């Protein structure tokens, strides 16, 4: 990584709180990456939909949002790692696994993060004046999926089990994931005491569980209460499911 690129990386991290005012012209062809261990590599397509060229740098980290290409130790190689994208052109990123598979769990997925940093060119008209530019960094989940995992990842959300609890006067749902796959839940809806409740959820790790608070609900919903929830599948699409609270 060049000194120039390193400085720009530090700049985008320092200005991260202003990312909402910056607009990315480089569009990523997906919202997540599923890396199949049996294939050993995968590709991701980028498209520069802007009217100017951009400098793009890509790397993978193990969960540190402050990571840089030099600080990460994720067992992957991206090629090309740093390149110029002309306006209106596409570029494929090739992602290869370079680590020791024996050091990762073989009975469940492992989670990594793909970073794509877009650095716009300096406007020509700004050569004689001060200018504040924003580099835009996108972070996508990368799921390393070992070969021969049990079950179908597209049907994994159907295996989730739900229970309810109340703690200090606030009710919560507890969702348990008995599968070897990460499951991303974007929304959960249910009806408690004739009051509809909709809350945001999150990602449930393989063989793990997550507690989801129900603001404004004091008593735990009864067993049998119907639940509707939305998950994101391997292709980035939303799938709608139904479940029910089971007795503790």
Give yes or no for residue 21 having a pLDDT over 70. no
Give yes or no for residue 237 having a pLDDT over 90. yes
User: Are 140 and 158 part of one and the same domain?
Assistant: no
Burial 8-32, CB ≥16 within 10 A → b, else e: bbeebeeeeeeeeeeebbbebeeeb
Q: Can you give the pLDDT at residue 218?
A: 85
Q: Taking Cα atoms as reference points, which of 25, 65, 76 lies closest to residue 46? A: 25
pLDDT, mean of residues 196-220? 94
Of 145, 179, 214, the position where a domain reaches its end is 145
Give yes or no for residue 12 having a pLDDT over 50. no
User: Are 121 and 226 part of one and the same domain?
Assistant: no
Q: Can you give the pLDDT at residue 216?
A: 86
The Cα–Cα gap between 181 and 107 comes to 9
Q: What is the DSSP track for 108-174?
A: S-EEEEEEEEEEPPPPGGGTTS------EEEEEEEEEE-TT-SS-GGGGGGG-EEEEEEETTEEEEE
User: Are 109 and 169 part of one and the same domain?
Assistant: no
Q: How many CB atoms lie within 10 A of CB 233?
A: 17
The chain-wide mean pLDDT, for the chain, equals 88
Give yes or no for residue 3 having a pLDDT over 50. no
Q: Which residue has the higher pLDDT, 67 or 218?
A: 67
The Cα–Cα gap between 238 and 230 comes to 6
Q: How many CB atoms lie within 10 A of CB 111?
A: 15
Q: How many CB atoms lie within 10 A of CB 230?
A: 16
User: Are 162 and 93 part of one and the same domain?
Assistant: no
Give yes or no for residue 64 having a pLDDT over 90. yes
Q: Range with the lowest mean pLDDT among 1-5, 82-86, 93-97, 207-211?
A: 1-5
User: Are 85 and 140 part of one and the same domain?
Assistant: yes
User: Are 36 and 92 part of one and the same domain?
Assistant: yes
The Cα–Cα gap between 178 and 165 comes to 19
Q: Can you give the pLDDT at residue 32?
A: 96
Give yes or no for residue 19 having a pLDDT over 60. no
Query: pLDDT category, 128, cuts 50, 70, 90?
Result: low
Q: Can you give the pLDDT at residue 160?
A: 98
The Cα–Cα gap between 243 and 161 comes to 8
Give φ, ψ of 157 to 5 degrees.
-60, -25
Instruction: Identify the three-state secondary structure at position 61.
Output: strand
Burial (CB count within 10 angstroms: exposed 0-12, middle 13-18, buried 19+), residue 38: exposed
Q: Can you give the pLDDT at residue 2?
A: 46
User: Are 89 and 203 part of one and the same domain?
Assistant: no
Q: Can you give the pLDDT at residue 132?
A: 66
The Cα–Cα gap between 215 and 128 comes to 54
Query: pLDDT category, 58, cuts 50, 70, 90?
Result: very high
Query: pLDDT category, 105, cuts 50, 70, 90?
Result: very high
User: Are 160 and 108 part of one and the same domain?
Assistant: no
User: Are 133 and 159 part of one and the same domain?
Assistant: no
Instruction: Identify the three-state secondary structure at position 86.
Output: coil
Q: What is the pTM of this model?
A: 0.85
User: Are 99 and 217 part of one and the same domain?
Assistant: no
Residue 230 belongs to domain spanning: 153-244
Residues 6+ apart with CB under 8 A from 175: 160, 161, 162, 185, 201, 204, 209, 210, 212
User: Are 141 and 19 part of one and the same domain?
Assistant: yes
What CATH number is attached to the domain comprising 185? 2.60.40.10
User: Are 167 and 109 part of one and the same domain?
Assistant: no
Q: Range with the lowest mean pLDDT among 40-49, 131-140, 200-209?
A: 131-140
Of 145, 168, 193, the position where a domain reaches its end is 145
Q: Can you give the pLDDT at residue 23?
A: 67
Q: Can you give the pLDDT at residue 126?
A: 56
The structure tokens listed for 135 are 């580099």
Q: Can you give the pLDDT at residue 131?
A: 66
Of 114, 145, 176, the position where a domain reaches its end is 145
The Cα–Cα gap between 17 and 88 comes to 29
For the chain, the domain total comes to 2
């Amino acid at each position: 990584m060049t000194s120039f690129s390193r400085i720009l990386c530090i700049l985008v991290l320092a200005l991260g709180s202003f990312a909402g005012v910056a607009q990315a012209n480089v569009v990523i062809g997906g919202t997540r990456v599923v890396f199949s261990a049996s294939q050993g590599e995968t590709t991701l397509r980028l498209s520069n939909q802007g009217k100017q060229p951009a400098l793009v740098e890509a790397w993978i980290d193990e969960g540190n949002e402050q990571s840089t290409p030099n600080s990460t130790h994720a067992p992957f190689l991206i090629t090309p790692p740093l390149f110029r994208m002309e306006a209106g052109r596409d570029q494929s990123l090739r992602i290869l696994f370079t680590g020791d598979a024996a050091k990762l769990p073989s009975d469940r997925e492992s989670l990594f993060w793909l970073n794509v940093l877009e650095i716009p060119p300096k406007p020509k008209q700004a050569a004689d004046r001060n200018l504040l530019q924003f580099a835009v960094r996108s972070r996508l989940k990368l799921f390393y999926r070992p070969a021969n995992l049990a079950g179908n990842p597209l049907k994994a959300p159907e295996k989730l089990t739900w229970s309810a609890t109340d703690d200090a006067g606030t009710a919560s749902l507890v969702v348990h994931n008995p599968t070897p796959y990460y499951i991303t839940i974007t929304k959960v809806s249910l009806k408690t005491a004739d009051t509809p409740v909709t809350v945001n959820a999150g990602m449930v790790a393989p063989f793990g569980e997550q507690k989801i608070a129900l603001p404004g609900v004091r008593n735990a919903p009864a067993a049998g209460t119907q639940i509707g929830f939305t998950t994101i599948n391997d292709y980035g699409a939303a799938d709608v499911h139904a479940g029910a609270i089971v007795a503790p």
